[in-house]
Chains A and B, each alone.
Chain A
Amino acid sequence: MIRLPLVLFFSAALFSIGVYGVLARRNAVLVLMSIELMLNAVNVNLIGFSQLWRDLTGQVFALFVIAIAAAEVGIGLAIVILIYRNRETINLDEVSLLKW
Protein backbone atom coordinates (compact mmCIF):
# COMPACT_ATOMS: atom_id res chain seq x y z
CA MET A 1 0.00 0.00 0.00
CA ILE A 2 1.69 3.13 -1.08
CA ARG A 3 0.16 6.37 -0.12
CA LEU A 4 -0.83 8.27 -3.20
CA PRO A 5 0.48 11.65 -2.09
CA LEU A 6 3.98 10.19 -2.03
CA VAL A 7 3.70 9.19 -5.65
CA LEU A 8 2.43 12.56 -6.53
CA PHE A 9 5.16 14.33 -4.61
CA PHE A 10 7.70 12.32 -6.50
CA SER A 11 6.13 13.33 -9.75
CA ALA A 12 6.03 16.98 -8.73
CA ALA A 13 9.63 16.92 -7.73
CA LEU A 14 10.73 15.42 -11.02
CA PHE A 15 8.65 17.93 -12.91
CA SER A 16 9.99 21.01 -11.22
CA ILE A 17 13.53 19.79 -11.54
CA GLY A 18 12.87 19.33 -15.21
CA VAL A 19 11.57 22.89 -15.45
CA TYR A 20 14.67 24.20 -13.81
CA GLY A 21 16.76 22.27 -16.22
CA VAL A 22 14.94 23.62 -19.26
CA LEU A 23 15.36 27.16 -18.11
CA ALA A 24 18.87 26.98 -16.74
CA ARG A 25 20.93 24.82 -19.06
CA ARG A 26 22.88 26.21 -21.95
CA ASN A 27 23.41 23.12 -24.02
CA ALA A 28 20.50 22.24 -26.23
CA VAL A 29 20.90 18.55 -25.67
CA LEU A 30 20.76 19.06 -21.94
CA VAL A 31 17.55 20.99 -22.41
CA LEU A 32 16.14 18.01 -24.24
CA MET A 33 17.15 15.79 -21.39
CA SER A 34 15.30 18.02 -18.97
CA ILE A 35 12.27 17.74 -21.14
CA GLU A 36 12.52 13.98 -20.78
CA LEU A 37 12.50 14.41 -17.04
CA MET A 38 9.29 16.33 -17.25
CA LEU A 39 7.69 13.68 -19.44
CA ASN A 40 8.67 11.00 -17.02
CA ALA A 41 7.14 12.91 -14.17
CA VAL A 42 3.91 12.99 -16.07
CA ASN A 43 4.13 9.30 -16.68
CA VAL A 44 4.58 8.56 -13.01
CA ASN A 45 1.50 10.53 -12.32
CA LEU A 46 -0.44 8.61 -14.89
CA ILE A 47 0.65 5.24 -13.69
CA GLY A 48 -0.08 6.11 -10.11
CA PHE A 49 -3.62 7.13 -10.83
CA SER A 50 -4.13 4.24 -13.13
CA GLN A 51 -3.31 1.81 -10.38
CA LEU A 52 -5.45 3.68 -7.93
CA TRP A 53 -8.58 3.57 -10.03
CA ARG A 54 -7.79 0.22 -11.57
CA ASP A 55 -8.21 1.77 -14.97
CA LEU A 56 -5.89 0.74 -17.71
CA THR A 57 -6.38 4.00 -19.54
CA GLY A 58 -3.60 5.61 -17.61
CA GLN A 59 -1.07 2.99 -18.53
CA VAL A 60 -2.06 3.00 -22.17
CA PHE A 61 -1.65 6.70 -22.18
CA ALA A 62 1.71 6.41 -20.52
CA LEU A 63 2.79 4.12 -23.32
CA PHE A 64 1.75 6.61 -25.85
CA VAL A 65 3.64 9.30 -24.03
CA ILE A 66 6.77 7.19 -24.16
CA ALA A 67 6.34 6.69 -27.88
CA ILE A 68 5.83 10.33 -28.51
CA ALA A 69 8.77 11.20 -26.36
CA ALA A 70 10.93 8.96 -28.43
CA ALA A 71 9.79 10.57 -31.65
CA GLU A 72 10.30 13.99 -30.23
CA VAL A 73 13.82 13.23 -29.09
CA GLY A 74 14.66 11.94 -32.56
CA ILE A 75 13.50 15.04 -34.32
CA GLY A 76 14.90 17.30 -31.65
CA LEU A 77 18.35 15.87 -31.91
CA ALA A 78 18.22 16.08 -35.70
CA ILE A 79 17.47 19.76 -35.41
CA VAL A 80 20.23 20.24 -32.85
CA ILE A 81 22.70 18.63 -35.19
CA LEU A 82 21.58 20.88 -38.02
CA ILE A 83 22.00 23.92 -35.82
CA TYR A 84 25.46 22.67 -34.92
CA ARG A 85 26.27 22.29 -38.59
CA ASN A 86 25.18 25.83 -39.33
CA ARG A 87 26.39 27.69 -36.30
CA GLU A 88 29.26 25.58 -34.97
CA THR A 89 27.60 25.86 -31.59
CA ILE A 90 24.59 24.57 -29.71
CA ASN A 91 24.89 27.09 -26.98
CA LEU A 92 21.37 28.43 -26.69
CA ASP A 93 22.61 31.84 -25.66
CA GLU A 94 24.31 32.24 -28.99
CA VAL A 95 21.42 30.94 -31.08
CA SER A 96 19.35 34.06 -30.72
CA LEU A 97 18.86 35.68 -34.13
CA LEU A 98 15.18 36.48 -33.64
CA LYS A 99 15.78 39.47 -31.45
CA TRP A 100 15.59 43.21 -31.66
Chain B
Amino acid sequence: MSSQEYAFVVLALVGTVSAVRVVTARNVVRAALYLVATLASVGAVYLLLGSEFVGWVQILIYVGAIVILFLFGLMLTKAPIGREALDNRSRAIGALVGLAILAGLVFLIQNAFAWNDPKVELAQATSGAIGEAIFRHYVLPFEAVSFVLLAALIGAVVLSRKDERP
Protein backbone atom coordinates (compact mmCIF):
# COMPACT_ATOMS: atom_id res chain seq x y z
CA MET B 1 0.00 0.00 0.00
CA SER B 2 1.49 3.18 -0.98
CA SER B 3 1.27 6.42 0.83
CA GLN B 4 -1.32 7.79 -1.56
CA GLU B 5 -3.41 4.86 -0.84
CA TYR B 6 -3.23 5.43 2.84
CA ALA B 7 -4.21 9.04 2.36
CA PHE B 8 -7.02 8.00 0.16
CA VAL B 9 -8.37 5.48 2.61
CA VAL B 10 -8.35 8.04 5.36
CA LEU B 11 -10.16 10.60 3.25
CA ALA B 12 -12.65 8.02 2.13
CA LEU B 13 -13.44 6.98 5.63
CA VAL B 14 -13.94 10.56 6.66
CA GLY B 15 -16.25 11.15 3.74
CA THR B 16 -18.27 8.05 4.33
CA VAL B 17 -18.77 8.70 7.99
CA SER B 18 -19.80 12.26 7.28
CA ALA B 19 -22.27 11.06 4.67
CA VAL B 20 -23.78 8.67 7.14
CA ARG B 21 -24.17 11.50 9.59
CA VAL B 22 -25.81 13.62 6.90
CA VAL B 23 -28.61 11.14 6.52
CA THR B 24 -28.98 10.31 10.16
CA ALA B 25 -28.57 13.61 11.90
CA ARG B 26 -31.47 14.84 13.92
CA ASN B 27 -30.54 18.42 13.53
CA VAL B 28 -30.91 19.75 10.04
CA VAL B 29 -28.15 22.30 10.43
CA ARG B 30 -25.81 19.62 11.63
CA ALA B 31 -26.76 17.60 8.64
CA ALA B 32 -25.80 20.51 6.44
CA LEU B 33 -22.46 20.83 8.18
CA TYR B 34 -21.76 17.18 7.86
CA LEU B 35 -22.50 17.64 4.19
CA VAL B 36 -19.76 20.23 4.09
CA ALA B 37 -17.38 17.71 5.49
CA THR B 38 -18.36 15.13 2.95
CA LEU B 39 -18.01 17.49 0.05
CA ALA B 40 -14.69 18.73 1.25
CA SER B 41 -13.33 15.24 1.58
CA VAL B 42 -14.49 14.44 -1.91
CA GLY B 43 -12.69 17.52 -3.13
CA ALA B 44 -9.58 16.36 -1.37
CA VAL B 45 -9.92 13.02 -3.08
CA TYR B 46 -9.98 14.79 -6.41
CA LEU B 47 -6.80 16.58 -5.53
CA LEU B 48 -5.25 13.35 -4.44
CA LEU B 49 -6.17 11.75 -7.72
CA GLY B 50 -4.51 14.59 -9.55
CA SER B 51 -7.50 16.49 -10.91
CA GLU B 52 -6.65 19.85 -9.45
CA PHE B 53 -9.15 21.88 -11.48
CA VAL B 54 -12.07 19.73 -10.66
CA GLY B 55 -11.05 19.57 -7.06
CA TRP B 56 -10.94 23.30 -6.61
CA VAL B 57 -14.11 23.72 -8.55
CA GLN B 58 -15.69 21.21 -6.19
CA ILE B 59 -14.65 23.18 -3.17
CA LEU B 60 -15.72 26.45 -4.71
CA ILE B 61 -19.10 25.47 -6.01
CA TYR B 62 -20.25 22.82 -3.70
CA VAL B 63 -18.88 23.89 -0.39
CA GLY B 64 -18.91 27.53 -1.17
CA ALA B 65 -22.27 28.01 -2.92
CA ILE B 66 -24.49 25.02 -2.70
CA VAL B 67 -24.16 24.45 0.98
CA ILE B 68 -24.92 28.11 1.53
CA LEU B 69 -28.00 27.65 -0.59
CA PHE B 70 -29.07 24.74 1.56
CA LEU B 71 -28.58 26.74 4.70
CA PHE B 72 -30.64 29.57 3.28
CA GLY B 73 -33.30 27.12 2.31
CA LEU B 74 -33.37 25.64 5.78
CA MET B 75 -33.62 29.03 7.25
CA LEU B 76 -36.39 30.28 4.98
CA THR B 77 -38.51 27.20 5.54
CA LYS B 78 -38.08 27.37 9.26
CA ALA B 79 -36.65 23.92 9.42
CA PRO B 80 -37.13 22.71 12.88
CA ILE B 81 -33.90 22.97 14.80
CA GLY B 82 -33.61 20.67 17.66
CA ARG B 83 -34.15 17.08 18.50
CA GLU B 84 -37.11 15.93 16.43
CA ALA B 85 -37.87 12.95 14.40
CA LEU B 86 -36.77 13.86 10.86
CA ASP B 87 -37.11 10.41 9.41
CA ASN B 88 -40.28 9.12 7.93
CA ARG B 89 -41.95 5.82 8.42
CA SER B 90 -40.44 4.07 5.45
CA ARG B 91 -36.94 4.11 6.85
CA ALA B 92 -36.76 0.35 6.81
CA ILE B 93 -37.57 0.12 3.15
CA GLY B 94 -35.08 2.85 2.44
CA ALA B 95 -32.38 1.02 4.31
CA LEU B 96 -33.24 -2.13 2.53
CA VAL B 97 -33.08 -0.54 -0.87
CA GLY B 98 -29.85 1.23 -0.03
CA LEU B 99 -28.23 -1.94 1.13
CA ALA B 100 -29.45 -3.72 -1.95
CA ILE B 101 -27.90 -1.11 -4.16
CA LEU B 102 -24.67 -1.25 -2.24
CA ALA B 103 -24.54 -4.97 -2.48
CA GLY B 104 -25.23 -4.88 -6.13
CA LEU B 105 -22.63 -2.30 -6.89
CA VAL B 106 -20.00 -4.01 -4.79
CA PHE B 107 -20.67 -7.24 -6.51
CA LEU B 108 -20.34 -5.63 -9.89
CA ILE B 109 -17.11 -3.91 -9.01
CA GLN B 110 -15.37 -6.90 -7.67
CA ASN B 111 -16.64 -8.93 -10.57
CA ALA B 112 -15.29 -6.48 -13.10
CA PHE B 113 -11.93 -5.60 -11.74
CA ALA B 114 -9.23 -7.64 -10.12
CA TRP B 115 -8.06 -6.42 -6.76
CA ASN B 116 -4.57 -5.55 -7.58
CA ASP B 117 -4.50 -4.87 -11.22
CA PRO B 118 -5.85 -1.52 -12.23
CA LYS B 119 -4.05 1.11 -10.40
CA VAL B 120 -4.86 4.66 -10.82
CA GLU B 121 -1.73 6.50 -11.61
CA LEU B 122 -1.46 9.93 -10.41
CA ALA B 123 -1.31 12.27 -13.24
CA GLN B 124 -1.29 15.91 -13.54
CA ALA B 125 -4.38 17.18 -15.21
CA THR B 126 -3.56 20.76 -15.89
CA SER B 127 -6.22 23.38 -16.07
CA GLY B 128 -4.96 24.39 -19.43
CA ALA B 129 -5.56 20.95 -20.80
CA ILE B 130 -9.03 20.90 -19.37
CA GLY B 131 -9.79 24.30 -20.74
CA GLU B 132 -8.58 23.21 -24.08
CA ALA B 133 -10.75 20.12 -23.91
CA ILE B 134 -13.81 22.11 -22.94
CA PHE B 135 -13.52 24.84 -25.48
CA ARG B 136 -12.32 22.73 -28.30
CA HIS B 137 -14.03 19.38 -28.13
CA TYR B 138 -16.90 19.97 -25.78
CA VAL B 139 -17.90 23.49 -26.60
CA LEU B 140 -21.49 22.58 -27.48
CA PRO B 141 -22.22 20.82 -24.20
CA PHE B 142 -20.60 23.78 -22.50
CA GLU B 143 -22.96 26.20 -24.21
CA ALA B 144 -25.88 23.94 -23.36
CA VAL B 145 -24.93 23.86 -19.76
CA SER B 146 -24.70 27.61 -19.73
CA PHE B 147 -28.24 27.75 -21.04
CA VAL B 148 -29.33 25.42 -18.32
CA LEU B 149 -27.75 27.66 -15.72
CA LEU B 150 -29.44 30.68 -17.23
CA ALA B 151 -32.79 28.92 -17.19
CA ALA B 152 -32.25 27.82 -13.62
CA LEU B 153 -31.39 31.35 -12.63
CA ILE B 154 -34.44 32.87 -14.23
CA GLY B 155 -36.60 30.07 -13.00
CA ALA B 156 -35.51 30.43 -9.47
CA VAL B 157 -36.19 34.14 -9.57
CA VAL B 158 -39.63 33.67 -11.12
CA LEU B 159 -40.59 30.91 -8.76
CA SER B 160 -39.63 32.85 -5.71
CA ARG B 161 -41.45 36.01 -6.52
CA LYS B 162 -44.20 36.94 -4.16
CA ASP B 163 -47.69 37.12 -5.56
CA GLU B 164 -48.63 40.69 -6.37
CA ARG B 165 -52.34 40.38 -5.93
CA PRO B 166 -53.96 43.23 -4.05
Indicate yes or no for A touching B, C-beta below 8 A. yes
> Which residues of A come within 8 Å of B, CB atoms?
1-10, 12-30, 32-34, 36-37, 40, 43-44, 47-48, 50-52, 54, 56-57, 59-60, 62-64, 66-75, 77-82, 84, 90, 92-93
User: Which residues of chain A come closer than 8 Å to B94, judged between CB atoms?
Assistant: 19-20, 22-24
Q: Tell whether, in the assembled complex, residue B77 and residue A71 are in contact, meaning their CB atoms are under 8 Å apart.
A: no
CA distance A78 to B129 in the complex (A): 36
Given A23-B90, A36-B62, A78-B159, decide whether A4 and B118 contact each other with a Cβ distance below 8 A: yes
By size class, the interface of chain B is 35 or more
Q: Which residue of B lies closest to A77 (CB)?
A: B73
Q: Tell whether, in the assembled complex, residue A51 and residue B123 are in contact, meaning their CB atoms are under 8 Å apart.
A: yes
Q: Tell whether, in the assembled complex, residue B51 and residue A74 are in contact, meaning their CB atoms are under 8 Å apart.
A: no
Q: Tell whether, in the assembled complex, residue B62 and residue A23 are in contact, meaning their CB atoms are under 8 Å apart.
A: no
Within 8 A of A (CB), among B89-127: 89-91, 93-95, 97-99, 101-102, 105-106, 109-110, 113, 115-116, 118-123, 125
Q: Tell whether, in the assembled complex, residue A33 and residue B98 are in contact, meaning their CB atoms are under 8 Å apart.
A: no
Which of B23, B53, B159: most chain A CB closer than 10 A?
B23
Q: Tell whether, in the assembled complex, residue A24 and residue B35 are in contact, meaning their CB atoms are under 8 Å apart.
A: no
Identify A1's interface contact among B2, B110, B129, CB under 8 A. Answer: B2
Q: Tell whether, in the assembled complex, residue A19 and residue B121 are in contact, meaning their CB atoms are under 8 Å apart.
A: no
Least distance between A84 CB and chain B CB atoms (Å):
4
Q: Which residue of B lies closest to A28 (CB)?
A: B77
Q: Which residue of A lies closest to B147 (CB)?
A: A71
CA distance A30 to B81 in the complex (A): 13
Q: Tell whether, in the assembled complex, residue A29 and residue B74 are in contact, meaning their CB atoms are under 8 Å apart.
A: yes
Q: Tell whether, in the assembled complex, residue B119 and residue A51 are in contact, meaning their CB atoms are under 8 Å apart.
A: no
Q: Tell whether, in the assembled complex, residue B76 and residue A70 are in contact, meaning their CB atoms are under 8 Å apart.
A: no
User: Which residues of chain A come closer than 8 Å to B62, judged between CB atoms?
Assistant: 36, 40, 66, 69
Q: Tell whether, in the assembled complex, residue A6 and residue B42 are in contact, meaning their CB atoms are under 8 Å apart.
A: no
Least distance between B101 CB and chain A CB atoms (Å):
5
Q: Tell whether, in the assembled complex, residue A33 and residue B49 are in contact, meaning their CB atoms are under 8 Å apart.
A: no
Q: Tell whether, in the assembled complex, residue A1 and residue B19 are in contact, meaning their CB atoms are under 8 Å apart.
A: no
User: Which residues of chain A come closer than 8 Å to B106, judged between CB atoms?
Assistant: 9, 12
User: Which residues of chain A come closer than 8 Å to B66, judged between CB atoms?
Assistant: 36, 69-70, 73
